Structure 1
Amino acid sequence: MHQARLSSSTTHPKMTLGTLVIMVTLLVYFVLKNKRVLLSQQQRGRRGRLPPGPATLPIIGNMHQLILNKPAVFRWIHGLLKEMNTDIMCLRLGATHVIVVACPQIACEVLRKKDEVFASRPTTFASGLFSFGYKGSIFSPHGEQWKKMRRVLTVEILASSMERKLYHLRKEEYDHLVRYINKTYCSDMACPGNIVNVRHVTQHFVGNMIRRLVFGKRYFSDLPASSTSGPGHDEVAHVATLFTALNHLYSFCVSDYFPALIGLDMDGQEKVSKDAMQTLNRLHDPIIEERIHERSSTLEKCGEKKEARDFLDVLVHLKDAEGQPLLSLQEIRAQTAEMMFAAVDNPSNAVEWALAEMMNVPEIMQKATEELDTVVGKDRLVEESDIPRLNYLKSCIREAFRIHPYHALNVPHVAMADTTVAGYTIPKDSHILLSRLGLGRNPKIWTEPLEFQPERHLNTANVLLTDPGLRFISFSSGRRGCPGMSLGTSMTMMLFARMLQGFTWTKLPGVKSISLQERNAGLALAKPLVLQATPRLAAHLYIYDPA
């Protein structure tokens, strides 16, 4: 049994009292310049009863506490929820009410009953930067631009017909995965001998996969075409940058709540975000620009329709009613980046955590491999068509999503009008945060919530990776929900199933149990999972077969 640290508050190591005084002074100065906004917010709050919350200071609210608890702000928030014994809480950060929800019934009220009211997103420095000025579908506030790009994503990119059309790309990556792990004498950091850095393998699998689906290729530059070649320098930089960006989106930057402070970079996050964006542009832009140049080729001018090879082709070749390109360069850049962000974190994190938990409970690992042997056998590799019958494996991944989400809090929603939730007043422009951690580990909902028990999900003929009652969040729902649930399920389950079917996983010599300690500033394992992998199938199944 492991105890996840929910309520420990950690002071930012670089934060001194003097720095705090300076920051609070600046906050007071800039807020006083805009005090009319604050008074308007406060007046709306007085019309009804706000959710419970900690005491606030004039003007800055709870911002001083948030600053003191960086970088593990989410641990402070969940500590307050526990201390106050509440499933809904209101913080005030400057003029903004931030409502945190950790109860499935209240979460359903937000995302189902009143979804239309909460269909917007906040504007922040990082989200504006990573969406090229809100040109994409994920981070854009509610409005015509969001509706346009959401239609493109759901109707054109993630349509079932497109998913079937690009199956061959996904299959190549599934096959590449088992060959790569099986390469006994590889020299890269993933697997010297039969020792496998599971985090490296899972993160680069999803990186390879989304690059294939978006750009049609695994590598940014020409690398050896070996079926077992690992990521090059650009590929490593790309995956690292995607995770850096994800870790800085909606991360309680001070200027998110005091926009007048943008440019002072008080958290140091602006520079990190700009550097990440520079790397993404360096890697993405040449490919995008080349495709746009192709669009104006002689063949297309003559009216010959080009078959889409990947998601980028779809974006580049969409036309409006007048036959002109539907999307601008900035819209293509934004949607390309957002698809990358959406694909990499949850599958790789869930599979690493599931394997870590299973290594400490061999019975669970045995049940999972027995299900694979029964449903699929050992004469062929598991395929996407097998997923519906792999209920125990899906239960293991559900349990990983429940206990070990990559992000403690869901992407924020913004109230577009004054409303009520659970009987409390929610003022217009409030930020609503559904707690993945609070939902999935809620002791009122789950018995032994910190125990990894896949059997608790085996109560239906077809186990899904989502929970309709929002007792945990894997792929979000509602108007701002994840439209890529089918693709995300396939990527996650095939990564997990191929790794379990293809190899017997054991702890390193001398290791009695796998440490399940989380990072302080996040929910990933504190140290990457490193295991030994031994092939368990016939040798020919690991050999490249172009047919």
Structure 2
Amino acid sequence: MDYISTVSWSHLQPFVISLFIMISSFTIIIKAFRNHSIDKSKLPPGPKPWPIVGNLPEIVARRPVFRWIHNLMKEMNTEIACIRLGNVHVIPVTCPTIACEFLKKYDADFASRPLTMATDIMSGGYVTIAVVPFGEQWKKMRRIFVNDLFSSLRHQWLQDKRNEEADNITFYVYNQCNNVKDGGLVNLREVSQHYSCNLTRKLIFNTRYFGNGREDGGPGLEEVEQVNAIFTLLKHVYAFSVSDYVPLLRMFDLDGHKSKVMKGMKIMEKYHEPMVEERMKQWNDGSKSVEEDLLDVMISQKDDSNNPILTKKEIKALTTELMLGGADNPSNAVECALAEMLNHPDVLQRAIEEVDNVVGKERMVQESDIPKLNYVKTCVREAFRLHPVVPFNPPHVSMRDAMVGEYFIPKGSHVLLSRIGLGRNPKVWNEPYKFKPERYLQNDGSMIVLSEPSLKFISFGIGRRGCPAIVLGSTMTVMLLARLLHGFTWSKPPNVSSINLAKSNSGGMLLEPLVLEAKPRLPSKLYYM
């Protein structure tokens, strides 16, 4: 019977695939009639689309897609474009003025998100916040994030946990310095990624380790597996997948994205679900009644009738989304900032002198020092501008037809603000490809912040879909860089004349992890927790 079933499917498979393609094409043709009613002369400029499929052949043939888009816009000499993928108008933007129109003037019209294979799986069927389309679920989650999870009072409440992870990563790097086997070499990508994930894990679950951990403060096997899964998921969250523009093709997983996302989610669930289940049991049987971390906060949320506000499914999905949200932006900014600073010794020295002047050498830098570390913060800002972790911000979907500037943006369009294009726009930035932190310093000595409301670059976004945890993200990024600069002397490895700043095909991270020599520069007693 199994043999007959296998043979039957092998014969039927080409027919079924052809049938789905025909149905997909028919659906696209029907929707295309609406496109004929659009005044093409008012759309942003773009490449001529193929019949029915639009520019889908180009995104298949010209990987990485972000590079093709940016080269295309450069060739067309435009700061806004329109690329049709199936029936979706994709609108990349590299102009801050136009970007502000989308996210300020018309923010309400562009406050939704697209439905994709990856975001559906990662969000538990769209029950979280970051990737959820605009609607009641998003409004519910936004209120909880702003009022309960990332309020200023909650930020203060969680400070001890952040301090623990700052101390631990300093201790770990100190132990790496003394590791004769590795010759005092430190992998800054590993350090920054695990610091970001350790901190987020501590805030959510009140633990650094899922297993026994390591005596030197480094990640255990469980944490390495989880962090690898996190960055696999982030790589695919808004990848240009053909099936996202022709949804009927999703079941075939033509580009292999679905299998990778599913594997990554299984790893996340392996570690998260037992902890959520046990914690909910503790709250239900009364053995726990005091909030100690963000998981407790989520579980203990009640409505006016004393019923839980969040379901178990929502809580599990949120723990994953929170881990994803805290991983890449801070870690990449610190790695890239240090890479640039090693290539610009004057910048490195100025940052070190600032930390020494503010903190001295008899204690470690603390969060209370951050307001005075203006030059360190300019280095982080410049890393966000010049080395964004992803080429594009998450897509903003138009909920109605709109005119932005002089262009018509059809309902359902995916607006992509280019982090690369905004941060390196030569009309906005003098010497856009040069790492110049001093460009942000003001004569009046006003305090530097990492957010950028004018969208000349993107750090955490703005508007309804901006990051609700800007204060946390800013704090952990500056704190990590400040600890590394204050606690250690950094130098290039032997036989390395300059740090390679070439990027990976994902467009965000450095092609090669940053590996540097490190030596402690403070009294040894300060490195022990």
TM-score by length of 1: 0.91
In structure 1, what is the Cα distance between the partners aligned to 2:459 and 2:58?
29
Provide the secondary structure at the position in 1 that maps to 2:49: coil
The offset of 1:192, in angstroms, is 2.3
In structure 2, what is the Cα distance between the partners aligned to 1:25 and 1:448?
52
The offset of 1:91, in angstroms, is 0.3
In structure 2, what is the Cα distance between the partners aligned to 1:62 and 1:184?
49
In structure 2, what is the Cα distance between the partners aligned to 1:53 and 1:442?
19
1:34: which partner in 2? 27
Percent sequence identity over aligned pairs? 47
Seen in structure 2, the aligned counterparts of structure 1 residues 223 and 273 have a Cα distance that, compared at 3 Å, is same
1:375: which partner in 2? 358
In structure 2, what is the Cα distance between the partners aligned to 1:510 and 1:49?
56
Question: Residues 27-426 of structure 1 correspond to what in structure 2 (within 5 A)?
Answer: 29-35=22-28, 37-46=30-39, 49-70=42-63, 72-184=64-176, 192-224=182-214, 226=215, 228-298=216-286, 306-426=289-409
Seen in structure 2, the aligned counterparts of structure 1 residues 276 and 26 have a Cα distance that, compared at 3 Å, is farther
Provide the secondary structure at the position in 2 that maps to 1:116: helix
The offset of 1:328, in angstroms, is 0.8
The offset of 1:379, in angstroms, is 1.1
In structure 2, what is the Cα distance between the partners aligned to 1:414 and 1:117?
8
In structure 2, what is the Cα distance between the partners aligned to 1:291 and 1:453?
48
Seen in structure 2, the aligned counterparts of structure 1 residues 28 and 83 have a Cα distance that, compared at 3 Å, is farther
Q: Which amino acid aligns with 1:379?
A: E
In structure 2, what is the Cα distance between the partners aligned to 1:47 and 1:235?
51
The offset of 1:25, in angstroms, is 8.2
Q: Which amino acid aligns with 1:165?
A: W
Q: Which amino acid aligns with 2:107?
A: D
Q: Which amino acid aligns with 2:62?
A: N
Contact 2:487–2:521 (Cα < 8 Å) also in 1: yes
In structure 2, what is the Cα distance between the partners aligned to 1:210 and 1:521?
24
Q: Which amino acid aligns with 2:279?
A: R
Q: Which among 495, 498, 501 is matched to residue 510 of structure 1?
A: 495
Provide the secondary structure at the position in 2 that maps to 1:526: coil
Seen in structure 2, the aligned counterparts of structure 1 residues 464 and 125 have a Cα distance that, compared at 3 Å, is same
The offset of 1:185, in angstroms, is 6.9
In structure 1, what is the Cα distance between the partners aligned to 2:236 and 2:107?
26
Q: Which stretches of structure 1, 4 residues or more, deviate above 4 A after TM superposition?
A: 24-28, 184-188
Seen in structure 2, the aligned counterparts of structure 1 residues 371 and 133 have a Cα distance that, compared at 3 Å, is same
Contact 2:171–2:217 (Cα < 8 Å) also in 1: no
Contact 2:230–2:323 (Cα < 8 Å) also in 1: yes
Provide the secondary structure at the position in 2 that maps to 1:379: coil
Provide the secondary structure at the position in 1 that maps to 2:326: helix
Seen in structure 2, the aligned counterparts of structure 1 residues 472 and 337 have a Cα distance that, compared at 3 Å, is same
Tell me whether 1:487 sits opposite 2:472 in the alignment.
Answer: yes
Contact 2:206–2:293 (Cα < 8 Å) also in 1: yes
Contact 1:44–1:427 (Cα < 8 Å) also in 2: no
Between structures 1 and 2, the one with greater helix share:
2
Contact 1:27–1:60 (Cα < 8 Å) also in 2: no
2:10: which partner in 1? none
In structure 2, what is the Cα distance between the partners aligned to 1:184 and 1:489?
26
Provide the secondary structure at the position in 2 that maps to 1:541: helix
In structure 2, what is the Cα distance between the partners aligned to 1:37 and 1:507?
59
Contact 1:30–1:258 (Cα < 8 Å) also in 2: no
1:539: which partner in 2? 524
Tell me whether 1:456 sits opposite 2:439 in the alignment.
Answer: yes
In structure 1, what is the Cα distance between the partners aligned to 2:176 and 2:417?
44
Q: Which amino acid aligns with 1:223?
A: G
Q: Deviations over 1:323-358 (max 9, x none)?
A: 111111111011111111111101110111011111
The offset of 1:37, in angstroms, is 4.6
The offset of 1:321, in angstroms, is 1.6
Contact 1:407–1:522 (Cα < 8 Å) also in 2: yes
In structure 1, what is the Cα distance between the partners aligned to 2:178 and 2:520?
15
Q: Which amino acid aligns with 1:474?
A: S
1:8: which partner in 2? none
In structure 2, what is the Cα distance between the partners aligned to 1:185 and 1:494?
20
The offset of 1:313, in angstroms, is 0.5
Contact 1:50–1:90 (Cα < 8 Å) also in 2: yes
Q: Deviations over 1:66-106 (max 9, x none)?
A: 10023x11000100110100000000000000001100000
Contact 1:81–1:87 (Cα < 8 Å) also in 2: yes
Contact 2:176–2:186 (Cα < 8 Å) also in 1: no
Q: Deviations over 1:247-270 (max 9, x none)?
A: 001101111101000110011101
Seen in structure 2, the aligned counterparts of structure 1 residues 208 and 26 have a Cα distance that, compared at 3 Å, is farther
What residue ranges of structure 1 are gaps of 5+ in the alignment? 1-21, 301-305
Q: Which amino acid aligns with 2:262?
A: K
Seen in structure 2, the aligned counterparts of structure 1 residues 373 and 47 have a Cα distance that, compared at 3 Å, is same
In structure 1, what is the Cα distance between the partners aligned to 2:455 and 2:505?
26
The offset of 1:521, in angstroms, is 3.1
Provide the secondary structure at the position in 1 that maps to 2:38: helix
1:3: which partner in 2? none
Q: Which among 513, 527, 530 is matched to residue 515 of structure 2?
A: 530
In structure 1, what is the Cα distance between the partners aligned to 2:275 and 2:253?
31
Seen in structure 2, the aligned counterparts of structure 1 residues 420 and 169 have a Cα distance that, compared at 3 Å, is same
Provide the secondary structure at the position in 1 that maps to 2:82: strand
Q: Which amino acid aligns with 2:31?
A: L
The offset of 1:26, in angstroms, is 8.5
The offset of 1:222, in angstroms, is 2.9
In structure 2, what is the Cα distance between the partners aligned to 1:489 and 1:41?
44
Q: Deviations over 1:270-317 (max 9, x none)?
A: 1001101111111110000011111211357xxxxx331111001111
In structure 2, what is the Cα distance between the partners aligned to 1:495 and 1:37?
53
The offset of 1:28, in angstroms, is 6.0
1:14: which partner in 2? none
Q: Deviations over 1:426-466 (max 9, x none)?
A: 00011000000000011111111110000111126111111
The offset of 1:31, in angstroms, is 3.3
Q: Which amino acid aligns with 2:382?
A: E
TM-score by length of 2: 0.94
